[in-house]
Amino acid sequence: MKQFLLLFVFIFTFSTAQSQENLPTDYLSKEFHQGRREAFRNLMPANSVAVIFSYPERVFSRDINYNFHQNPDLYYLTGYKEPDAVLLLFKEPQGTEKYTEVLFVRERNALRETWTGRRLGIEGAKSKLGFTKVYNGVDFQTFEIDYKKFDKIIYDDFQTDITANVLPESLYELVQTFKKKAGITEENPDSTTLFYNITSSLREIKTPEELVLMRKSVKLSCIAHNEVMKAVGPDMSENEADGIHRYIHRHYGAEDEGYPPIVGAGANGCILHYGENNSTKIDNQLLLMDVGSEYHGYSADVTRTIPANGKFSPEQKAIYELVYEAQEAVFKICKEGTPLIALNETAKDVLAKGLIKLGIITDAKDVRLYYPHSCSHFLGLDVHDKGIFNGPQTLIKENMILTVEPGIYIPANSKCDKKWWNIGVRIEDDILMLKDSYENLSADAPRKWQEIEALAKQKSTFNEMKFPKI
């Protein structure tokens, strides 16, 4: 029996080593993550410790989980992509070893890895992530640390859907151990706010390494949008258009989408976060596509609105041109030093005047009936990424990435002429803020109505695909 187990371990180890081939080579480097930990530590107050947990695994169906998505803050600071982990960061060196960080990871386990995939383990975290002090998660319970000696314990809000688990290395037990050792009976707003401010101040400004990944994520998303513009037709379903996006994302190496794709035709395009994507025919309507890839953790967020038959009707064109005009007006003030709220105020002003001119509203304040959201949000590791917003005094900074996404949505039974009903238009681009200007990262996907109609005349590879009938 012992010989059999040794043989199993040998076979497992050999097959795991073989399966490591042909992995992407453009992940963020361990030096990047080390630099982010140092930047975090520099913002910590004296005599403090920060505790950052992984996200929980989430149930898809009974005993099947969704694909795991790491806590973006933990990924940002470590590069670790597995569940059941916790990172400790110390402001000052600790103990005789003078360590400033400790990472607890999932233990290597040949049998479990056969079922659920490779684990990095202690040695992998040391060699690939650059940590020197790494333990298995089960050791968190016995790790000697006196939280009472610190003036400040910094941690994020605890996830509310962590499932109780008897395994001592589970995320549930890691959190319970921390709460017990630190004497936490309820969340401390000061500690969680400090954590949010530190991570937000870091993540709102993108480093050169991050910009490489952001550019790729946005670029491949634009390719997907362009392909749908060529392939779309009245008989296509929303789900099929969604599928073209997803296929192209995977073709270029994106692991996922940054959010559930919004692919809505006609009335569905007037639902801001429409997610069913199940209309079987787009018909001669506008198709609003808010779809962006997630590439190595970084999310694009691109929206284009196109006519399914390749040509805008007069009413569709009028609304589209108004949204385009609003976006162009916002672009003119995109640079460092502009008040963040000015982006939305500019878009709102243009849209209000345009809707009045079209006779859709008579009072500027009613623009909110058809433009109910804001123009911009931070973009990065989360589609609605972290950033610090303190009201009117918040200014745009160089190397922020913000969306610019004005829109107009006129659902049926709106108090305007019926000819406008069920027209929903949003144009959304991902904008890198520069010192005196901006860079439109999503410029590869056409925005002008003339360019969209021209692209719609081209044939797509997907038009030639034939499948058996069922």
Active-site entry in 384, 398, 439, 444: 384
Q: What is the pLDDT of residue 164?
A: 83
Strands (E), 167-259: 256-257
Q: What is the pLDDT of residue 160?
A: 85
Q: What is the pLDDT of residue 187?
A: 84
Least trusted range by pLDDT, from 2-6, 66-70, 245-249: 2-6
Q: What is the pLDDT of residue 166?
A: 76
Q: What is the pLDDT of residue 20?
A: 66
Q: Is 366 a catalytic residue?
A: no
pLDDT per residue over 259-277, tens digit each?
Answer: 999 999 999 999 999 999 9
Q: What is the pLDDT of residue 21?
A: 78
Q: What is the pLDDT of residue 15?
A: 46
Report the Cα 303 to chain-centroid distance in Å: 15
Q: Is 290 a catalytic residue?
A: yes
**Amino acid at position 83, single letter:** P
**Amino acid at position 140, single letter:** F
Banded model confidence at residue 4, pLDDT cuts 50, 70, 90: very low
Mean pLDDT calculated for residue range 231-235: 97
Helix (H, G, I), strand (E, B) or coil at 51: strand
Q: What is the pLDDT of residue 7?
A: 46
Active-site entry in 36, 37, 119, 377: 377
pLDDT per residue over 70-112, tens digit each?
Answer: 999 999 999 999 999 999 999 999 999 999 999 999 999 999 9
Active-site entry in 58, 69, 118, 373: 373
Active-site entry in 41, 296, 426, 447: 426
Structure tokens given for 441: 């990262």
Active-site entry in 73, 290, 382, 430: 290
pLDDT of 9 over the 50 cut: no
Active-site entry in 204, 301, 385, 430: 301
pLDDT of 2 over the 70 cut: no
Q: Is 384 a catalytic residue?
A: yes
pLDDT per residue over 195-213, tens digit each?
Answer: 999 999 999 999 999 999 9
**Burial class of 242 by CB neighbour count within 10 A (0 to 12, 13 to 18, 19+):** buried
Structure tokens given for 277: 């994507």
Least trusted range by pLDDT, from 185-194, 213-222, 247-256, 419-428: 185-194
Q: Is 405 a catalytic residue?
A: yes
Q: Is 26 a catalytic residue?
A: no
Neighbours of 63 (CB within 10 A): 6
pLDDT of 3 over the 70 cut: no
Q: What is the pLDDT of residue 404?
A: 98
pLDDT per residue over 162-201, tens digit each?
Answer: 888 878 889 999 999 999 999 998 889 999 999 999 999 9
Closest to 76 in 3D by CA, of 169, 175, 162, 204: 204
d(CA 409, CA 405): 13
What are the residue boundaries of the structural domains of the chain, listed by start? 24-203, 208-464
Banded model confidence at residue 161, pLDDT cuts 50, 70, 90: confident
Banded model confidence at residue 17, pLDDT cuts 50, 70, 90: very low
Q: Is 428 a catalytic residue?
A: yes
End-to-end, the C-alpha distance of the chain in Å comes to: 51
Question: Options 3.30.70.360, 3.40.190.10, 3.40.350.10, 3.20.20.220; which CATH number does 24-203 get?
Answer: 3.40.350.10
Structure tokens given for 208: 């050169």
Instruction: Work out the mean pLDDT of the chain and round it to a whole number.
Output: 95
Active-site entry in 112, 250, 251, 273: 273
Q: Does domain 208-464 have CATH number 1.10.1200.10?
A: no
Contacts of 463 (CB under 8 A, 6+ apart): 230, 231
d(CA 409, CA 426): 8
Q: What is the pLDDT of residue 167?
A: 82
